[in-house]
Structure 1
Amino acid sequence: MITFMSLVAGYGRAGDILRGVDFSAAEGSITCVVGPNGAGKSTVLKACSGLLRPRSGRVLLGDEEIGGLSPAQILRRGVVQVPQHHGLFPALTVRENVLLGAYVNRRERERNRRRYEEITGVFPLIAERAGDRAASLSGGQRRIVEFARALMLRPKVVLLDEPTLGLDPKACARLADSISTLNREGVTVLMVEQNVRFGLTLADDAVVMEGGRVLHTGPADALLADPDMGRLFFGGAPSRREAS
């Protein structure tokens, strides 16, 4: 579904952050990108969503080249990014925030209304808190609203940048259910996550990055069971019970 081929990208005079990134996120899968700070994980998502123009290399959505297109063009092709920092409008209601996910199709009011009703069935919180201002929600609830907003355009791919950032363990558990719900809706999920155990437990496939390059790709459960990876990320190999 999403393929990165020899991708090189960076920020102005800071130079290249990504130095030839190659990997794919399979259609219908959850793929988690992990690695130390500064590895280039979030930069990959920005190059995919159009927030950053690649210097060279390719970003493919299926067979179509999307690297270098504008964020609006990529959004219309079905790629939605949920940012690392909370992106809701706190003074707007939950319903208003969700409907903003269809802003590019704002003239299709009846279609958007029907889609909103469908989403309330997927995420009951949306119906329960529809009239409440986003500022009144907990961190985990705000993330769910962001996921609901991402579904308004029936995306093919959702990019999640550090979805557990700032959340407590209970909120993380609810978040895992919500990400699985996104995936069951037929959405391909490409996720960057610092909470490695959370991300790899949830994912089908894993990508390990360091220094702007890909060090490893493979099944997420195999990475969790790898003693070398366990020592790198956890200070010791996780047991199968811990990884489940």
Structure 2
Amino acid sequence: MPVTSSSLVLQLSGVRTRAGRAGALDDVSLSVEPGQVVAVVGGAGSTLFDTVCGFVRPEAGEITWRGSALRPRPHRLTTLGGLARTLQGVGLYGGLTVLENVLVGAAGVPPVAAVPAGRHGGVGVALLGGAQLRPRGEELRQLARDALTRLGAGEYLDAELAAVPTSLHIRVVLARALLVGPELLVLDDPTAGLEAAEAAALAGMLRPQAGSDHAVLITTTDAEFAALSADRVVTLDP
């Protein structure tokens, strides 16, 4: 069956931007199908990530989400009904356990500034750790446990994040994003700071589970990781 624009999770057509974190996009077109992992390799990949997530506004071109025009707002992505992103090392709480860090996005917690992952938290983080989950609390906890186990971090569920190897922090961030059941997971440079063996292990974890239609869009400068993790690799011209 041919792929139509309405069956695509995400499509960029002729997108052009001013220079962002990693250069400008110039007439970029790509698509992501359900159940597919697409990796974008090139210096401007982070700008593409920022554009899809709404941090950068395109000057030309179109972005569509499930066939309809997408005008993303960075802090309201989940209201789209299935788009989740990861920001490397952002929003982790050194004073919370690994499981609590995954649940932060679902807990409806009070606003507390994130504590650097290698440091212990104070009063604000203690309050966050004691926040009550919404009605689906125990179900969410089990989903979080399952996600962490699948990502190879199950033995650290009750460990304080500050005591966990930093190479595992990306798995905590991924588990948090997966908790919302995204239709599309957008990852920016997920191998930053990882050794080659750790990056290779992560590549295998990003594949959607059997029977799942959720898709993954990765921006990376690591061509080897892109080849290992993706069904399709798109290279941006320098």
TM-score normalised to the size of structure 1?
0.74
Give the C-alpha shift of residue 27 in structure 1. 1.5
More strand by share: 1
Q: Does 1:52 align with 2:77?
A: no
The code of the aligned residue for 2:177 comes to A
For 1:112 and 1:56, the matched residues in 2 are separated by 43
More helix by share: 1
- Residues 182 and 157 of structure 1: CA distance in aligned 2, closer, same or farther (over 3 Å): farther
The number of residues matched between the two structures is 205
For 1:101 and 1:184, the matched residues in 2 are separated by 25
- Residues 51 and 192 of structure 1: CA distance in aligned 2, closer, same or farther (over 3 Å): same
- Residues 112 and 8 of structure 1: CA distance in aligned 2, closer, same or farther (over 3 Å): farther
Q: Give unpaired runs (5+ residues) of structure 1.
A: 212-244
SS of the residue corresponding to residue 5 of structure 1 reads strand
For 2:174 and 2:209, the matched residues in 1 are separated by 8
SS of the residue corresponding to residue 210 of structure 1 reads coil
Give the C-alpha shift of residue 54 in structure 1. 2.0
The code of the aligned residue for 2:17 comes to A
Q: Does 1:65 align with 2:66?
A: no
The code of the aligned residue for 1:28 comes to G
Q: Does 1:200 align with 2:227?
A: yes
Give RMSD over aligned pairs.
2.7
Give the C-alpha shift of residue 112 in structure 1. 4.4
Q: Is the 8 A contact 2:89 2:170 kept in 1?
A: no
For 2:74 and 2:103, the matched residues in 1 are separated by 19
Q: Is the 8 A contact 1:101 1:151 kept in 2?
A: no
Give the C-alpha shift of residue 86 in structure 1. 5.0
Q: Which residue of 2 aligns with 1:141?
A: 168
Q: Does 1:32 align with 2:39?
A: yes
Q: Is the 8 A contact 1:94 1:129 kept in 2?
A: yes
Q: Does 1:160 align with 2:163?
A: no
Q: Which has the higher contact order (CA 8 A, sep 6+)?
A: 2
SS of the residue corresponding to residue 17 of structure 1 reads coil
For 1:147 and 1:130, the matched residues in 2 are separated by 14
Q: Is the 8 A contact 1:183 1:189 kept in 2?
A: no
TM-score normalised to the size of structure 2?
0.75
For 1:34 and 1:50, the matched residues in 2 are separated by 20
Q: Which residue of 2 aligns with 1:116?
A: 141
